[in-house]
């Protein structure tokens, strides 16, 4: 591993020994005279609840048959990924969520954990697998009933039926309720007529639609007896055995994309296509032969959200994949940053290792801290998902909480991945831009993660609305005394009871590590207070501004909401950040090894203070932090970076990636070898007495 390459240079770099190099900082825990973190224990903690599955999946994707090959044409890449999907079927790597009676394991948590690990092989492979089993297959499983399962699940699972998930339309992305496609019941023939009434209602961006899909789960407005019962899902065959569209079906290839070009995204349209009545996936709503509609969920709104809610696993997977892709990128960039040297340090004898630069630490270590937070938060999110889908804790409220959690965490981790992969690529300079070093490819592939499975801004707005409604519930039927108490801020900690990973009021203990006096006011409990207080006050401020709107006509009320949209999204982001911080803190508190706990606390502090620094103006304007304390936040962060610097390699090594996962020339040890060779050349040249003298040094004499 990279680790070995780093350590191999140590004999030549004794601290502050000009002959052997002139580091401006300690490079390792030993040099810093500090305990090392227990790398493998941290790996265990990061791999989380389904660590075993992750290890199995990582072992599987070491096989180069799963790896992305750069430079394939779109057509070749698509064929390769299709064949990789068959390989996944053979290895049983992606069917853990399906019921045992169909050959699955009925294990939702493990399924996502294993799926997430595919990202290091090729995100195209991952997402095409997600389309097939996580969306298309999952729609049949979650929205269909036994007849559908018996008929289609085996073929879906073994890839005899590659399928598309036809929800999004060219004219309707995040607003699924407004899709234009219709499914009108014809009682004379007992068929649904699937129809695309206009161009904007073409289904679009669907994986498997351009080439490989022979069927699709199509979302359409269910109309029977002159009534539109809202969006339902239908199983619709697409192509015949020769790969030609069936009558009435047409489509287009979406062509080249910014990434994920191993997936054949495309468009579909339907011209009065008839499917049997029983092709309605009828778990939540059914139509009898005579056209009578029935559902055990009477509210059309709640029915719609229940159906959509079964598809939350897409967001869970993207959250984990984004967090781990960030880890992959940082492993590459920090390993390289620990080997590459640039510019003389001022000592005149050697060049500085990139990771020793204050700015380089700021760029990479802050993102390392956020990556840890995102990974820990993902594991808690996955536990919640597993509890709901296994039925262990599956009330309406649980499902609603899970949705909110998904909507809060997926945006943060997917944006973080793009930011981190870009910063990592820039931190590696020209090398970072080469495909052989993985960063640009990963970033390109993950780009769309921020807008698919729910546009990030739309998701955060949902979180914001949930926060507002939780806030409002607090006052329903409250008596004057409790309102007054609230106004005094006494119960503020309990306002948001449902939307988080845990109760807001739940104590998160300070870890009591020694700290300088200026930092004393920025320890764990103060970080929590600042982060949680910000969410509460933002929501309460927005609620205050929206209150008058309840008396306005709908259109004007919408305008008032619109004026607060941007800030509501910020409040939701603050909520998500708090969840990440809490998950990180819980993980730190679970740590038993002292040295590890010490270092992880610094890293958690770096994450928390980074958030506080980002929002510092808000804290100042709202009187939550004094000017004096605010003034030290940035320098405290710089100091934390310096403290963490010797542990940087350990902290990325703890992600547990091996060369078969990294596959980046710059983090393979090649850079260290180049540096060693160059330094040896200059050393030998100096010893030989034949080195030219520099004109500069002659001038000085």
Q: Which two tokens stand for residue 497?
A: 């009871």
Task: Output DSSP code: residue 280.
Answer: B
SS3 state at 336: helix
How many residues comprise the chain?
701
Rounded Cα–Cα distance for residues 606 and 629 (Å): 16
Q: Which of 243, 247, 255, 276 binds a second copy (CB under 8 A)?
A: 255
Q: Which of 4, 8, 14, 16 binds a second copy (CB under 8 A)?
A: 16
- Of 225 and 491, which has the nearer Cβ to a second copy? 225
- Site residues (CB under 8 A) for a second copy, limited to 454-483: 455-457, 461
Q: Is there binding between residue 450 and a second copy (CB under 8 A)?
A: yes
Q: Is there binding between residue 43 and a second copy (CB under 8 A)?
A: no
Cβ-contact 127, 77 below 8 angstroms: no
Q: Which of 280, 418, 524, 603 binds a second copy (CB under 8 A)?
A: 418
- Site residues (CB under 8 A) for a second copy, limited to 271-300: 293, 298-300
- x/- letters, 519..548, toward a second copy (CB under 8 A): ------------------------------
| Residue 563 Cβ vs a second copy, minimum distance, rounded to whole Å | 6
Q: Is there binding between residue 35 and a second copy (CB under 8 A)?
A: no
Residue 610: count of CB within 10 angstroms of its CB: 21
Task: Output DSSP code: residue 130.
Answer: I
CA distance to 377, 386, 562, per residue, from 535 (Å) = 18, 27, 19
Pick the piece of the chain touching a second copy (CB under 8 A) from 119-127, 151-159, 306-314, 560-568. 560-568
| Residue 349 Cβ vs a second copy, minimum distance, rounded to whole Å | 9
Pick the piece of the chain touching a second copy (CB under 8 A) from 141-149, 369-377, 449-457, 653-661. 449-457
Q: Is there binding between residue 689 and a second copy (CB under 8 A)?
A: no
Q: Which of 19, 227, 246, 484 binds a second copy (CB under 8 A)?
A: 227
Instruction: Calculate ∠ Cα 308-106-177, nearest 5°.
Output: 5
**If you search the block for the tokens 């809490």, which residue do you land on?**
582
- Of 472 and 684, which has the nearer Cβ to a second copy? 684
Count Cβ atoms within 10 A of the Cβ of residue 41 and give its class: 0-12 exposed, 13-18 middle, 19 or more buried.
Answer: middle
Cα–Cα nearest to 354, from 690, 694, 137, 667:
667
Count Cβ atoms within 10 A of the Cβ of residue 128 and give its class: 0-12 exposed, 13-18 middle, 19 or more buried.
Answer: buried
Q: Which of 11, 346, 391, 477 binds a second copy (CB under 8 A)?
A: 346
Q: Is there binding between residue 694 and a second copy (CB under 8 A)?
A: yes
Q: Which of 481, 488, 507, 621 binds a second copy (CB under 8 A)?
A: 621
Q: Which two tokens stand for residue 604?
A: 């958690």
Q: Which of 4, 19, 65, 178 binds a second copy (CB under 8 A)?
A: 178
| Residue 351 Cβ vs a second copy, minimum distance, rounded to whole Å | 7
| Residue 341 Cβ vs a second copy, minimum distance, rounded to whole Å | 8
- Site residues (CB under 8 A) for a second copy, limited to 348-387: 348, 351, 356-359, 362
- Of 49 and 457, which has the nearer Cβ to a second copy? 457
- Of 125 and 231, which has the nearer Cβ to a second copy? 231
Count Cβ atoms within 10 A of the Cβ of residue 397 and give its class: 0-12 exposed, 13-18 middle, 19 or more buried.
Answer: exposed
Q: Is there binding between residue 452 and a second copy (CB under 8 A)?
A: yes
| Residue 168 Cβ vs a second copy, minimum distance, rounded to whole Å | 7
| Residue 296 Cβ vs a second copy, minimum distance, rounded to whole Å | 14
- Supply the Cα-derived Rg of the chain in whole angstroms: 28
| Residue 111 Cβ vs a second copy, minimum distance, rounded to whole Å | 26
- Of 8 and 563, which has the nearer Cβ to a second copy? 563
Q: Which of 481, 516, 698, 701 binds a second copy (CB under 8 A)?
A: 698
Q: Which of 122, 191, 204, 286 binds a second copy (CB under 8 A)?
A: 204
Rounded Cα–Cα distance for residues 606 and 366 (Å): 6
Cα–Cα nearest to 684, from 696, 674, 676, 673:
676
- Of 109 and 329, which has the nearer Cβ to a second copy? 329
Residue 315: count of CB within 10 angstroms of its CB: 26
| Residue 462 Cβ vs a second copy, minimum distance, rounded to whole Å | 12
Q: Tell me how far the alpha carbon of residue 108 is from its chain's centroid.
A: 18
Q: Is there binding between residue 247 and a second copy (CB under 8 A)?
A: no
Residue 200: count of CB within 10 angstroms of its CB: 13
- b/e map of 463-482 (b: 16 or more CB within 10 Å)? bbebbbebbeebeeeeeeee
Q: Is there binding between residue 79 and a second copy (CB under 8 A)?
A: no
Q: Is there binding between residue 550 and a second copy (CB under 8 A)?
A: no
Pick the piece of the chain touching a second copy (CB under 8 A) from 210-218, 326-334, 453-461, 582-590. 453-461
Residue 97, CB half-sphere, CA atoms under 13 Å: how many? 31
Q: Tell me how far the alpha carbon of residue 619 is from its chain's centroid.
A: 27
Which string of DSSP letters, residue by residue, matches 352-409? EEGGGSHHHHHHHHHHHHHHHHHHHHHHHHHHHHHHHHTTTT--HHHHHHHHHHHHHH
| Residue 378 Cβ vs a second copy, minimum distance, rounded to whole Å | 22
Q: Is there binding between residue 695 and a second copy (CB under 8 A)?
A: yes
Q: Is there binding between residue 13 and a second copy (CB under 8 A)?
A: no
Q: Which of 242, 517, 592, 627 binds a second copy (CB under 8 A)?
A: 627
- Look at the alpha carbons of 44, 438, 671, 658 in this order and tell me if their dihedral is positive or negative: positive
């Amino acid at each position: 591993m990279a680790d070995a390459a780093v350590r191999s240079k140590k004999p030549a770099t004794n601290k502050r020994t000009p002959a052997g190099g002139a580091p401006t900082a300690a490079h390792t825990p030993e040099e810093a005279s500090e305990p090392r973190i227990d790398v493998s224990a941290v790996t265990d903690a990061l791999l989380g609840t389904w660590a075993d599955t992750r290890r199995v999946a990582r072992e599987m994707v070491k096989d180069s048959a799963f790896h992305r090959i750069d430079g394939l044409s779109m057509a070749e890449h698509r064929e390769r990924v299709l064949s990789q999907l068959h390989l996944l079927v053979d290895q049983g790597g992606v069917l853990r969520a399906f019921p045992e009676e169909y050959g699955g394991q009925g294990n939702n948590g493990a399924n996502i954990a294993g799926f997430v690990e595919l990202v290091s092989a090729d995100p195209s492979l991952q997402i095409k697998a997600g389309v097939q089993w996580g969306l298309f297959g999952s729609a049949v499983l979650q929205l269909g009933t036994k007849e559908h399962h018996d008929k289609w699940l085996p073929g879906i699972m073994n890839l005899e039926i590659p399928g598309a998930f036809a929800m999004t339309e060219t004219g309707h992305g995040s607003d699924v309720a407004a899709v234009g496609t219709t499914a009108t019941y014809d009682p004379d023939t007992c068929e649904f007529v699937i129809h695309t009434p206009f161009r904007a209602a073409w289904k679009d961006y669907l994986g498997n639609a351009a080439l490989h899909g022979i069927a699709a789960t199509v979302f359409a407005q269910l109309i029977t007896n002159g009534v539109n019962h809202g969006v339902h899902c239908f199983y619709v065959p697409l192509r015949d055995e020769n790969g030609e569209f069936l009558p009435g079906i047409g489509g287009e290839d979406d062509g080249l994309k910014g990434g994920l070009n191993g997936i054949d995204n495309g468009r579909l349209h339907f011209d009065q296509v008839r499917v049997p009545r029983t092709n309605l996936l009828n778990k939540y709503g059914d139509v009898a032969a005579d056209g009578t509609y029935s559902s055990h969920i009477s509210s059309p709104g709640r029915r719609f959200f229940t159906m959509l809610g079964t598809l939350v696993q897409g967001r869970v997977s993207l959250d984990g994949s984004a967090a781990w892709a960030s880890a992959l990128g940082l492993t590459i960039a920090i390993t390289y940053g620990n080997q590459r040297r640039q510019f003389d340090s001022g000592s005149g004898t050697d060049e500085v290792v990139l990771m020793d630069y204050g700015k380089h630490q700021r760029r990479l270590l802050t993102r390392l801290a956020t990556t840890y937070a995102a990974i820990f938060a993902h594991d808690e999110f996955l536990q919640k998902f597993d509890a709901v889908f296994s039925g262990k804790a599956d009330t309406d409220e649980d499902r609603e909480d899970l949705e909110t959690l998904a909507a809060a965490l997926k945006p943060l981790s997917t944006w973080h991945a793009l930011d981190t992969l870009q910063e990592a690529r820039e931190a590696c300079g020209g090398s970072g831009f080469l495909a052989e070093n993985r960063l640009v490819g990963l970033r390109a592939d993950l780009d769309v993660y921020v807008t698919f499975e729910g546009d990030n801004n739309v998701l955060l707005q949902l979180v914001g609305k949930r926060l507002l409604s939780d806030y409002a519930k607090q006052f329903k039927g409250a008596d004057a005394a409790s309102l007054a108490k609230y106004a005094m801020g006494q119960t503020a900690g309990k306002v948001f009871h449902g939307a988080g990973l845990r109760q807001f009021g739940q104590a998160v203990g300070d870890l009591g590590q020694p700290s300088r006096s200026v930092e004393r006011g920025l320890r764990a409990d103060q970080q929590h207070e600042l982060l949680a207080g910000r969410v509460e006050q933002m929501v309460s401020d927005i609620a205050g501004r929206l209150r008058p709107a309840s008396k306005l006509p709908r259109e004007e009320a919408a305008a008032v909401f619109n004026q607060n949209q941007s800030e509501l999204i910020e409040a939701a982001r603050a909520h998500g950040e708090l969840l990440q911080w809490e998950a990180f803190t819980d993980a730190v508190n679970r740590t038993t090894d002292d040295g590890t706990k010490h270092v992880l606390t610094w890293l958690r502090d770096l994450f928390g203070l980074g958030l506080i620094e980002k929002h510092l103006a808000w804290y100042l304007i709202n009187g939550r932090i004094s000017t004096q304390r605010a003034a030290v936040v940035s320098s405290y962060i710089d100091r934390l970076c310096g403290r963490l610097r010797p542990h940087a390699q350990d902290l990325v090594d703890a992600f547990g990636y091996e060369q078969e996962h990294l596959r980046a020339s710059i983090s393979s040890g090649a850079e260290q070898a180049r540096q060693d060779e160059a330094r040896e050349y200059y050393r030998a040249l100096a010893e030989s007495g034949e080195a030219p003298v520099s004109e500069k040094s002659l001038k000085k004499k």
